[in-house]
Amino acid sequence: MARPTIYPTMADAVADVPDGITLIVPGFGVGTPLNLLTALHQRGTKEITVVQNGAAQASTDPSVRNVGNLIEDGRVKKLIASFTAATHPSRPSITEQMARAGTLEVELLPQGTVAERIRAGGAGIPAFYTPAGVGTLLSEGKEHRVFNGRTYVLEEGIVADYAFVHAWKADTAGNLIYRHGARNYNPIAAMAGRTTIVEVEEPIVPAGTFSPDEIHTPGVFVTRMV
């Protein structure tokens, strides 16, 4: 569909999200689609492969569930991230504990590689080369190649079954605008989801309200909005 479908509630927007999906979750301090994550947690979807900058500490507010809660509750099969939020080795995060116990698979990547893999997926680029991580543990076992005298490592694009997105403003055509640092992973996540579901802070306005030049994500990338 050219135009996204607008759902009345977060629960409705994720009501059919099945087990075993891959899911891109933006957010870097701000800009995290917490309402959609809370609804997904409530729905009980499991065996999820999550792509996120770093797994947050589980929320202690019972009305808010984040990726940390999904991990803690055993809903996540695999995490692709650049940070696992260990504050000190004596206090391992739940992510670390589960990774050690073998109940969670973790693929740790440089942050720019996480971002570029998502961007590549959304751009129909199956693979690219990056200098990040060359000469470190994180590039071990990966394919290396020299271009113009410099060594790079091959990384593949990520296309996810679902991308959750947090936007500031949206119109009925699905055009999105983000606010300040809440932009972070949201525009590239929106492009890399086969189904992209957006939670919008402000009430959705009629198509044509925004100037075409101020739109950050064109509605053609959006499947559902709440």
Binders of its own copies among residues 166 to 195 (CB under 8 A) are 177-180, 183
Choose, by CB under 8 A, the member of 45, 49, 69, 175 that binds other proteins. Answer: 175
Binders of its own copies among residues 125 to 164 (CB under 8 A) are 125-131, 145, 147-148, 150, 152, 156
Pick one of other proteins, its own copies, none as the site partner of residue 172 (Cβ within 5 to 8 A by kind).
Answer: other proteins
Identify which of residues 92 and 131 has a Cβ nearer to its own copies in the complex. Answer: 131
Binding marks (x or -) toward other proteins, 8..47, rule CB under 8 A? --------------------xxxx----------------
Binding marks (x or -) toward other proteins, 49..78, rule CB under 8 A? ----xx------------------------
> Nearest CA to 84 among 74, 97, 103?
97
Pick one of its own copies, other proteins, none as the site partner of residue 68 (Cβ within 5 to 8 A by kind).
Answer: none
Strands 22-25 and 160-167, by their bridges, are parallel
Contacts of 119 (CB under 8 A, 6+ apart): 157, 188, 191, 192
Pick one of its own copies, other proteins, none as the site partner of residue 147 (Cβ within 5 to 8 A by kind).
Answer: its own copies
The whole-angstrom separation of Cα 140 and Cα 14 is 37
Over the range 158-191, which residues count as b (16 or more CB within 10 Å of their CB) and which as e?
A: bbbbbbbbbbbbbbbbbbbbbeeebbbbbbbbbb
Is 84 a residue that touches other proteins (CB under 8 A)? Answer: yes
Is 6 a residue that touches other proteins (CB under 8 A)? Answer: no
Integer angstrom CA distances of residue 36 from 77, 126, 188, 193: 19, 28, 18, 15
The whole-angstrom separation of Cα 44 and Cα 64 is 14
**Amino acid occupying residue 222:** V
Residue 106 host element (H or E): strand 105-108
Binders of other proteins among residues 122 to 151 (CB under 8 A) are 122-125, 130-138
Query: Shortest approach of its own copies to residue 29 CB, angstroms?
Result: 17
Is 212 a residue that touches other proteins (CB under 8 A)? Answer: yes
